[in-house]
Amino acid sequence: MSRSIPEPWRIKMVEPIRMTTKAQRKNALIEAGLNPFILKSEDVFIDLLTDSGTGAMSDRQWANMLLGDESYAGSKSYYLLSKTVEEIFDFQYTIPVHQGRGAEQILFPLLVELAKEKGVSEPIFLSNHHFDTTKAHVEMAGARAKNLICASSLQTEITNDWKGNFDLSKLSNEIKYNRKNIVAIIITITCNSVGGQPVSMDNIRSAARMARDSGIPVIIDAARFAENAYFIKQRDSNFSHETISKIVKKIFSEADIFTMSAKKDGMVNIGGLCCFRNNESLFRQVQLRCVPMEGFVTYGGLAGRDMAAMAIGLQEALDEDHLRSRIAQVEYLGHKLQQSGIPIQTPVGGHAVFVDARKIFPDIKPENFPAQVLCNALYLESGVRATEIGSLMMGRDPITGQQEPSLFELMRLTIPRRTYTDNHMNYVADSLIDVVKKADMLKPLEFEYEPKILRHFTARFREIER
C-alpha cells in the first residue's frame, strides 16, 4: 500500500473555531437574509467561502513582515517585491495594488480608453472565463466581457485534464470576424469560474499566439498561477521533469501583462499585482491611475510589511511539496464526496471542490438559485460556509437587464491554503452527504433585495414553495 504524504509543515499557532447549535445558525442565517456572505464569521465553524486571503502565512513571511519598510515613497519592500516578480515571471515593471480588483480598476478603463482613441466603437474582452470582479470592471469601463470556455468544462461528470482551456475555434472566429473591437484577451489560470480548472500549456500558447499575430495584447489573470503550473507538470508529459519555476516562466513568456490577486497563490492576507513585461509606456500610464485610486506607485494601497510578506509568499508558492499537499487535500475532499454519489466537477480543481447543484435540484430554476439553496442548507446543517458560483453570481446583462444564462449552478467548497486538516474535510463531507439526502425538502429562493452589480455579496432572499 502506498503511504500517504503528510503536509510539509507543522502547526506553530492555532486559532480556536466555535461550533454553534442549529438554532443559533438558523437565527444567524435569517439575520443574514439567507445569504452566507452576510454571516458574521464568528457564526461559522469551517469557512470554505473562499481561499482568498484566508490562508496561513509561514514563519518566514511573518518574520519578514517585521523588516517591512513603511516609507511612503521608494520603500525597500517595493524593490524586493519588484525584484521577486522579475525573477519569477521575467516581467520588468511592477505596480503593487491592494488586491486583484485593484489591478483591474487601474488597468481595464485605460485599455478601453486607448482602444476607443483608436476608433473601437464596441470594445470587447475575450477570456476563457472572466472572474466576477474582472467582468464587473470590464463592464464598468464600458466594454463587454465574452467567455470562450471549452465545451467539456460544462459537463461536470466528464473527466478532462484541461477544463480551463479556451475553445480555440471560437477564439479564432472572434478574432477573424470581430478583430477591430477586441481590446485584449484574458487567460485566467486556473479558471476559477469553471471549477479551478487548469489551462494547458498548448492552449495558453495557442490562444496567446493567435492574439499576438493579430496585435491583440495578452493578459494573464494570475491568481492561481502556481497551481496551474503544478497541473501542467502532473498532466503534460512534456513538463513532467521541469521545475514549477521553469513552467511558470514558460507560461508568462506568452503574456504582455498580468494582474494578480496575491491573496491566493501569493499566500498573503491582502495584496495584488499589476505587471508589464516590457511595455514601459503603458506601465507609466497605469501608474498614473494607481496614484489616485490605490496609492503611491511604490505601495499601491499596501503596507511595506504586506509587500515584504508577498515577496516571500510568491516564492513559497513555487514549492512543489506545498503544491502536492494542497492539491491532494482538495482531491481528498472531492473523492469522499464522489464515493457517496455527490455530483462534482471532475477532476477536482486546484483550490476547491465544486458541487453540481443543478444535478441535485433538477427542478429548481436558475432564477431560484439552486446552488445558493445548497449553501444555505449546508450551513444550517453543519456551520460550514460555502459559496454560490452560478446564476446569482452571473448577474444580469447590463444592456437588456435580463438574467444572463449561467453555464453552471455550482456550490464551491473553497479550501484555504495551509489552514484546515483532513479531519475538517471529513466533517465537511459527512455534513454535505447528510444534506443531499434531504434535498427534496429544501426550498427555492427569490430576491428580497437585489443589488445592481456583484449582487451575490449583498443580496437578500426569501424562500418560496417548490
257 binds ligand PLP (CB under 6 A): no
C-alpha cell at 219: 493578459
- Rule CB under 6 A: which of 36-55 touch ligand PLP? 52
Looking at 123, 272, 304, 444, which residue binds ligand PLP (CB under 6 A)? 272
For residue 3, what are the CA distances in angstroms to 6, 77, 171, 231, 240?
9, 41, 44, 22, 22
Q: Which residue type occupies 83? A: K
Choice from 54, 61, 147, 192 touching ligand PLP (CB under 6 A)? 192
Name which of 61 and 99 has its Cβ closer to ligand PLP: 99
Active site residue 252: no
Q: Are strands 272-276 and 257-261 parallel, antiparallel or unpaired?
A: antiparallel
> Of the listed pieces 128-136, 139-147, 173-181, 357-365, which binds ligand PLP according to CB under 6 A?
128-136
Q: Verify binding: residue 99, ligand PLP, rule CB under 6 A.
A: yes
Tell me how long the chain is.
466
Q: From CA 216, how far away is CA 290, in angstroms rounded? A: 23
**Which range in 130-138, 154-162, 202-210, 336-344 contacts ligand PLP by CB under 6 A?**
130-138
Q: In this structure, how many other beta carbons lie within 10 angstroms of the beta carbon of residue 277?
A: 18
Judged by CB under 6 A, which of 68, 100, 266, 334 binds ligand PLP?
Answer: 100
State which residue has the least CB distance to ligand PLP: 100
Rank residues 223 and 445 by Cβ distance to ligand PLP and give the closer one: 223
The verdict on 135 binding ligand PLP (CB under 6 A) reads no
Q: Is 133 in the site for ligand PLP (CB under 6 A)?
A: yes
| Spatial CB neighbours of 400, under 8 Å, sequence gap ≥ 6 | none
Asked if 301 and 294 count as a contact pair (C-beta separation under 8 A), the reply is yes
Q: Which stretch binds ligand PLP (CB under 6 A): 129-137, 384-392, 407-415, 436-444?
A: 129-137
β-bridge pairing 93-97 and 272-276? antiparallel
Nearer to ligand PLP, 263 or 326 (CB): 263
264: annotated active-site residue: yes
Does 301 bind ligand PLP (CB under 6 A)? Our answer is no
Site map 137..176 versus ligand PLP, x via CB under 6 A:
----------------------------------------
Task: State the catalytic residue, choosing from 283, 456, 459, 461.
Answer: 456
Sheet holding 144-147, edge to edge: 93-97, 272-276, 257-261, 218-221, 182-188, 124-127, 144-147
- Nearest residue (CB) to ligand PLP, 282 versus 389: 389
Is 128 a binder of ligand PLP (CB under 6 A)? no
R_g of the chain, CA atoms, integer Å: 21
- Residue 261 interacting with ligand PLP (CB under 6 A): yes
Closest separation in Å from C-beta 440 to ligand PLP: 33
Q: Does 383 bind ligand PLP (CB under 6 A)?
A: no
Q: Does 263 bind ligand PLP (CB under 6 A)?
A: yes
CA-CA distance, 126 to 186, in Å (whole number)?
6
CA angle 392, 146, 456 (to 5 degrees): 15
Window 211-230: contact mask with ligand PLP (x via CB under 6 A):
----------x-x-------
Alpha helices in 201-343 (DSSP H): 201-213, 225-235, 244-252, 280-293, 304-316, 320-339
Angle at 133 between CA 220 and CA 197, to 5 degrees: 50
Burial 27-46 (b: 16+ CB within 10 A, else e): ebbeebbbbbbebeeebbbb
Task: Provide the annotated active-site residues.
Answer: 72, 131-132, 221, 223, 264, 456
The site for ligand PLP (CB under 6 A) is made up of: 52, 99-101, 131, 133-134, 188, 192, 221, 223, 261, 263, 272
